[in-house]
Amino acid sequence: MKLKETLLNTTETEDLSIDELGEDHMATASDTPLRPDAFELDDNLKIELIAKHFKEIMHVLGLDLTDDSLKGTPYRVAKMYVKEAFSGLNPKNKPKATLFENKFNYTEMIVEKDITFYSHCEHHFVPIYGKAHVAYISSGKVIGLSKINRIVQYFGKRPQVQERMTNQIAEELKNVLETDNVGVVVDANHMCVSSRGVADTNSKTGTAYFSGLFREENTKREFLNYINSK
């Protein structure tokens, strides 16, 4: 049966026996887990299918879908998922990074800090939000600063685990910039910690990736001191 027909006719609920998976922010792979047929459906059909299923979720919860405030919610949620919150799943949305010659022969680190991102925990589909700090040392090329922000946001806009997102940002920058000298630090708030479960509203989660010269203690300390300065 084709994927479209399978999804349109799905009525069975999945096995929920692995309820505990995801309580401890674990990732099962460095790459975002995607099926080989992930992009066979176009965005419009994905929105239609998600709206259908989200409408059923709302119905099961007992909500009155004839109410003016609620009847458009399934479509709004579906459109938000496909076009905004999870748009980073689709490779066609990956930002195209233009490199420029390092004409000034600038050899020190270049830092872009406090990059705001919004993501979603892949275990409970609730928000993760925070700041990413990125640094690199040019190998002869430099990148437009806004492209660094876009790369961070691209990998944030998918169901995520913070450790994976940190690695994905760093690996993409290494590939684009053609240098191993990259540092990434991410500080984030997880709503699955603050709004449910342990309900701790004060804690934050920090992750880091250092490669090349950023593994050296002096370079790493310079980067960390800079992002922690006001």
Q: Which positions are catalytic?
A: 121-124, 162, 190, 192
Residue 185, CB half-sphere, CA atoms under 13 Å: how many?
A: 18
- In the structure, how many helices (H) and strands (E) does the chain have? 7, 7
- CA pair distance 110, 223, nearest whole angstrom: 9
Q: What pairing do the DSSP bridges indicate for beta strands 127-137 and 109-121?
A: antiparallel
- CA pair distance 164, 49, nearest whole angstrom: 28
- Token readout for 177 is 């910039």
- CA pair distance 148, 89, nearest whole angstrom: 18
> Do 30 and 167 form a contact (C-beta atoms < 8 A)?
yes
- Token readout for 181 is 């000298």
- CA pair distance 127, 78, nearest whole angstrom: 16
Residue among 125, 136, 135 nearest 192 (CA): 125
> How far is the CA of 24 from the CAs of 100, 121, 169, in angstroms?
42, 11, 22
- CA pair distance 28, 9, nearest whole angstrom: 29
Beta bridge partners of 136: 110, 182
